[in-house]
Structure 1
Amino acid sequence: MRLSPIGSRLAGLSGLRSIMEDVASSMAGTAQEDWLNLGIGNPAAIPEAAAMWRETLSSALTDDFDSAVGRYGPSRGSTKLVDAVVHYFNQAYGWDLRPENVVIGPGSQMICFAAAALFCGPGPEGMHRLVMPMMPDYTGYQGLCMHQDGVAGVAPRITLEGEHRFRYSLDLDALARRNDLGMLLISSPGNPTGRAVTRTELNGLISVAGQHGVPLLVDHAYGAPFPRIGEVHVDPVQHPNVINCFSVSKAGMPGERIGFAIGDPEYIGALAAFMSNSVLHAAQLPQVAVATALSEGSLDRVTRDSIAPYYRHKRQYMEETLAERLPSGLNWRIHTGTGGMFSWVWIDHPWFDDIDLYRRLKTRQVFVVPGRHFFVDALSAPIPGDHATHCFRLSLSAPEKTIDEGVSRLADTLADMHPGASLNAQAAATRLRGEAAGEVVRPAGVGAR
């Protein structure tokens, strides 16, 4: 089979997708309950969210079947949902949206893909890249650009916090120095870290986007106003350089693939045209359900009363379980997250490798996600100590009993990887321990050219 250059890129499996296929093949032919899946990316099955979507979809099926299913719809999105989005955000944030500020897509990832196709690629002055302002970030972003070498990322600054915590922050100076920006893309709160951008950082990103004349796409899949997984203190902002992207997937309806973008009509018009030329439009029956959930306040209600409390509890449970079970001499740190569906763990020892951990845990019928897949060009990332290969992601969607037993097997595996991990923590001190506690600046430009 002969593929075009673009076809060769799009037909390939990403590293994480290969891991997901390995998970599926490993579990095939066995009882699912025999495995402890702490790598799962699906949102948790929260009964109140499921009941709300079941009711709104049933109502749409009864009342809107002919108009939603029996005919084609507008590529921008159904009038009912577009109007509901305009009214909701104008009321919630005091914005001045009109229908031309909104486009609906078959999931927020498709909207991000469309944006990458529209704003990134080779040009007269060289490659205009999709740049992720701070690694690590959602691994799916790395497959969005259709051009080889079209995605880049910026290495974070790392701050140590106490004995077992750390935090990434943006290196805006490194970002501003790049001359290859086609668009900026960041998740907030982030996957995998759960980190949300601060107001100062958001203002800085907007400034860089404005200076370079490119869009900043902020993916709120885990954030405000819904599903608000975690404490999100910075609301979305309306700005000519910002495309805000939202999804109902993490609010309990991932299978129906409904997302939408809000931004300047110039950007949104181009995205609507892309939808028309590719998928024609998103599925209309779930659009009706989302419009109902927005208009009647049921999405806000289930977010406030069920989804946010669920993940708040699960994050606390995961962190307490890690602190209780991991070997006492192990130099481990968890990213201080404010939201999202995951815990991000860093094992700061030279002997640790994320793929080795993955393989060892699989023999114990436990799955986690290796950290390297969330970094662009992880093996050559200019972060000291092979940081990108010393991290892994744990899901908060798993039941408590899965977390409990999974972390126990994780602790045993880490002890097996290096028996010294069970020794005195003083003997396991690392390179960073010799530095004063506080900010550790890493070189910028993961994948920088």
Structure 2
Amino acid sequence: MTRATDGTSPQLSHVGHQMSRMSGLRALMNDIATSIEGDRAGEWLNLGIGNPATLPAVAGMWRRLTRHAHEESFADAGQYGPSRGAPALVRAVADYFRSRLGWRIGSENIVIGPGSQMLCFVAAAVYAGPGSTGTRRVLLPMTPDYTGYQGLCMVPGGVVGTRSLPMPEEGRLFRYVLDLDAVARYPDPGMLLLSSPGNPTGRALSPAEQDGLINIAERLDVPLFVDHAYGHPFPQIGSTQAPPVLHPNVVNCFSMSKLGLPGERIGFAIGPERFITPIVCCLSNSVLHAPRLAQAAVAAGLRSGAIDDAVSTAVRPFYLERRLLVEKLLNSAMPPGVDWRLHASEGGMFAWVWVDEDWFDDLALYHRLKEQRVFIAPGRSFFTDSPRPAEHGAQCFRITLSVDEDVLKEGIRRIGRVIGQAGPQHTPRDDP
């Protein structure tokens, strides 16, 4: 066997090539690194980032809970634990959802993972790809959706999406229409997956839409994974029309990330035992289990009611106020004569902007803003099939609501200025 010693790339497997390709999520992570590393890191205005806002009340809660975990659970947390999750957290999750939503669940219905992103990745490995009945795929019922979903599957073309029609609404707003008929027509999905409220749009499922997706999953006998990273019961960033439901074909995913703990990578899924058990097995064979000290802190937060208090008194009011501020800033900063719209939002921590002009290109805007020390998330990163220039997906971009107010104000001011300078003479660039 020979080894490459001249700096050339190693021989990668098909999976290696698939997982090494540039994706929207990799681009966002690269931008995060750029904005916090090096001598000029402080000059960047990162409006593309997915971090939640640093709220004093929430940060204080996690400091207290983590201190308590250190004092009470450090010895146990330093040891290997069950792949399903720390028993204390599994019990706390079961008790919480029994009391809040009336769910009859036990430990067999729960799995704790190192972030809901990893749980979705494991689910894609378990329920999509080549199998005894052919190749099945992860189907996103509505795109745009979370850019991290694009890199879930280790099989090329393993993630597909149903394009949603943008419909203008009153004023500067628009909304996507979920095409249930198109979802129902898709051949042989292995699983359905979507976020609600959605990232990047903030759009939440209606009860009728949720019922429609459940009916499709039930007919096909595949799992419907619903990612509640921004929704009910925490962090409840905005209102949720259709609360999570317990159903034989539904797996509900929850996360601590947007509740102020993104770096600790704690998420969990609740669903039927037949869908949860293979995920537990896969965790055993990959990452073993989620970080145990953070699990102890989350368990204490659920049991004590501290998490519910932080949601109602700090998280929800902050993002409601920020959404109103961003609408005001965009209306002030966007140049006159440009046809732009903001997606109507039921929740989430982002603003999704559509510039409905043939000359507008999201990557051109991304690169011009990068020259101005501003990061945004280009729209095409949130679609499974990358749109071409002048198509809808290439006319959109995402900005966060969670950065400091001064950063938000100056960043949006520069966005408006750059769009005003661009006009029809844009030159598309390669992917970031």
TM-score range, shorter chain: over 0.9
**Whole-angstrom CA distance in 2 between matches of 1:209 and 1:419:** 44
**Whole-angstrom CA distance in 1 between matches of 2:310 and 2:264:** 18
SS in 2 for 1:379: coil
**Whole-angstrom CA distance in 2 between matches of 1:26 and 1:230:** 28
Match of 1:48? Answer: 57
Match of 2:422? Answer: 417
Return closer, same or farther for 1:7/1:90 CA change in 2, 3 Å cut-off: same
Of 382, 395, 399 in structure 2, the residue corresponding to residue 394 of structure 1 is: 399
**Whole-angstrom CA distance in 1 between matches of 2:322 and 2:361:** 26
Listed one character per residue, the Cα deviations across residues 155-190 of structure 1 (whole Å, up to 9, x for unaligned) are 102221013110012100001001130100000111
Match of 2:71? Answer: 62
Match of 1:436? Answer: none
Match of 2:285? Answer: 277
Q: What is the identity, as a one-letter code, of the residue corresponding to 1:401?
A: D
Post-superposition shift, 1:224? 0.6
Post-superposition shift, 1:28? 4.2
Listed one character per residue, the Cα deviations across residues 120-144 of structure 1 (whole Å, up to 9, x for unaligned) are 0023443200010000000111111
Match of 1:433? Answer: none
**Whole-angstrom CA distance in 1 between matches of 2:176 and 2:261:** 30
- The answer to whether the 8 A contact 1:129-1:180 is kept is yes
Structure 1 residues 15-94: aligned runs within 5 Å: 15-22=24-31, 24-25=33-34, 28-69=37-78, 71-94=79-102
Match of 1:316? Answer: 324
Match of 2:229? Answer: 221
Listed one character per residue, the Cα deviations across residues 41-73 of structure 1 (whole Å, up to 9, x for unaligned) are 11111111111011011101011111121x211
**Whole-angstrom CA distance in 2 between matches of 1:252 and 1:134:** 27
Match of 1:13? Answer: 22
- The answer to whether the 8 A contact 1:64-1:285 is kept is yes
The yes-or-no answer on 1:123 pairing with 2:131 is: yes
SS in 2 for 1:131: strand
- The answer to whether the 8 A contact 2:35-2:46 is kept is no
Q: Provide structure 1 residue ranges, at least 5 long, that are not aligned to the other structure.
A: 421-449
Post-superposition shift, 1:366? 1.3
Match of 1:4? Answer: 13
**Whole-angstrom CA distance in 2 between matches of 1:39 and 1:146:** 26
Of 296, 300, 314 in structure 2, the residue corresponding to residue 306 of structure 1 is: 314
Post-superposition shift, 1:114? 0.7
- The answer to whether the 8 A contact 1:249-1:258 is kept is yes
- The answer to whether the 8 A contact 2:113-2:267 is kept is yes
Q: Provide structure 2 residue ranges, at least 5 long, that are not aligned to the other structure.
A: 1-9, 426-432
SS in 1 for 2:143: coil
Of 177, 185, 203 in structure 2, the residue corresponding to residue 169 of structure 1 is: 177
Post-superposition shift, 1:16? 4.0
**Whole-angstrom CA distance in 1 between matches of 2:97 and 2:244:** 10
- The answer to whether the 8 A contact 2:252-2:271 is kept is yes
Of 194, 197, 217 in structure 2, the residue corresponding to residue 189 of structure 1 is: 197
**Whole-angstrom CA distance in 1 between matches of 2:232 and 2:259:** 11
- The answer to whether the 8 A contact 1:325-1:411 is kept is yes
TM-score of the aligned structures, taking structure 1 as reference length: 0.90
Greater shift after overlay, 357-366 or 286-295? 357-366
Identical columns (%): 50
Q: What is the identity, as a one-letter code, of the residue corresponding to 1:24?
A: A
Structure 1 residues 148-163: aligned runs within 5 Å: 148-163=156-171
Match of 1:432? Answer: none
Match of 1:254? Answer: 262
Listed one character per residue, the Cα deviations across residues 291-331 of structure 1 (whole Å, up to 9, x for unaligned) are 10000000000011001111111111001110122112110
- The answer to whether the 8 A contact 1:23-1:367 is kept is no
Return closer, same or farther for 1:49/1:26 CA change in 2, 3 Å cut-off: closer
Q: Number of residue pairs matched?
A: 417
SS in 2 for 1:148: coil
